[in-house]
Amino acid sequence: MSEPIIEVTDLHKRFGSAVALDGMTFTVAPGRVTGFVGPNGAGKSTTIRVILGLDAPDEGTALVCGQPYQHLQRPLNQVGALVDAAALQPSRTGRNHLLWMARSQDMPTSRVDEVIELVGLGSAARRKAGGYSLGMRQRLGIAAALLGDPPVIIMDEPFNGMDPEGIIWMRRLLHSMAVEGRAILVSSHLMSELQDMADHVLVIGRGKVLADASVDELIAHASGDQVLVRTSAASEAAGALQRAGNAARVIDGNTISVSGLEAQHIVEVLSQAQIPFSEVTAQRASLEDVYLQLTSGEAEFRASSDRKAQS
């Protein structure tokens, strides 16, 4: 894996008595989509604002391409960010919104027209942005992020307000940009939005990272390598698998659960022992299951510590 391009180290930040970031630490590598997921209020947006130099952390550092964001020369050429699609003046046209951004980085006007075409905003570009639908504003925000053709793309809740067609378009776009070797960080409060798109996931809760793993690792971990076997001879099958050195458990009359052995090997063991079976299924948790497991633990922790604080 190549060198991390975003490095967030031990960020702490409080807003009054509320702790927003509590030791947030992670890196984002190029060439893949990294999902940044957690419940609302977990610290995703605050972290992104700190990375972009909008908010200052109380402690810790956030580096992009090895530097704090404020030190980047012409930052839009290095980082494209979609923080808030409503963050524009409604009385300016979409094209002029991109135009001032291009001027701020000394980019030619032709680049503005290129990104307008790229996000499919062509016909609306010369209309006032205040009249755009939320989906069109998202596209304008994405055009702004792509303006400098940057190696790093950061998007905070980019799917909000998008229609299903827009979501599919967005997933393809982010995926293709990752394939081109860019580092993509996409936040969402819904794991389902990231499934099938993110290669790597950072699960966030209460201002820190709860899990930092590839999607496959996360799912394998949560599934615990369980395989279900349907057979009319459950106890014989369990016996045969146990003799082969595996944990096998009879769930009901014709189902057993096996862990620590791949489905293919289970089939071999059962065939050799000449035990009939009708189905061998690897149990896979969905990303959503993993997320709920991780964040529900966090919610319990929160509830119990609240009780402690009250007693």
Partner 1 sequence: MTEALRAEWTKLRTLASTGWLLLGAIVLTVGVSAAVAAAVHVTSRTGQDPTKLALTGIYLGQTIPAVLAVLTISEEYGTGMIRTTLTAMPRRFVLLAAKAVNVAGLTFVAGCLAVAGCLLVGRLLLPGAGLDPAHGYALVSISHSSTLRAAVGSVVYLVLVALLSLGVATVVRDTAVSIGVVLAVLYLPPILAQAVSDPLRRHLEQIAPMTAGLAIQATTDLRSLPIAPWAGLGVLAAWAAASLLVGGMLLRLRDA
Cβ–Cβ < 8 Å for 205, 294: yes
Among 22, 41, 92, 230, binds partner 1 (CB under 8 A): 92
Please report how close the Cβ of residue 55 comes to partner 1 at its closest, in angstroms: 4
127 binds partner 1 (CB under 8 A): no
For partner 1, the closer CB: 94 or 261? 94
**Could you tell me the two tokens for 199?**
């290669």
The residue among 144 and 210 lying less far from partner 1, judged by its C-beta, is 144
Measured from the CB atom, the residue of 140 and 241 that comes closer to partner 1 is 140
Q: Is 12 in the site for partner 1 (CB under 8 A)?
A: no
Q: Which one of 86, 168, 179, 303 is in contact with partner 1 (CB under 8 A)? A: 86
Nearer residue to partner 1 within complex by CB, 49 or 171: 49
103 contributes a contact to partner 1 by CB under 8 A: yes
Rounded Cα gap, residues 76 and 99, in angstroms: 13
CB of 87 to partner 1, least distance (A): 4
Q: How far is the CB of 44 from partner 1 (least distance, A)?
A: 15
* Binding to partner 1, residues 206-245 (CB under 8 A): none
Residue 87 in the binding site for partner 1 (CB under 8 A): yes
Rounded distance between C-alpha atoms, residue 112 and residue 91, angstroms? 18
Q: According to the binding rule CB under 8 A, does residue 91 interact with partner 1?
A: yes
Which residue is associated with the tokens 């409080």?
14
> From CA 43, how far away is CA 54, in angstroms rounded?
14
Name the token pair of 207: 């201002």
* Per CB under 8 A, 63 contacts partner 1: no
Which parts of this chain interact with partner 1 (CB under 8 A)?
Answer: 49, 52-56, 69-70, 72, 74-76, 79, 81, 83-84, 86-93, 96, 99-101, 103-106, 144
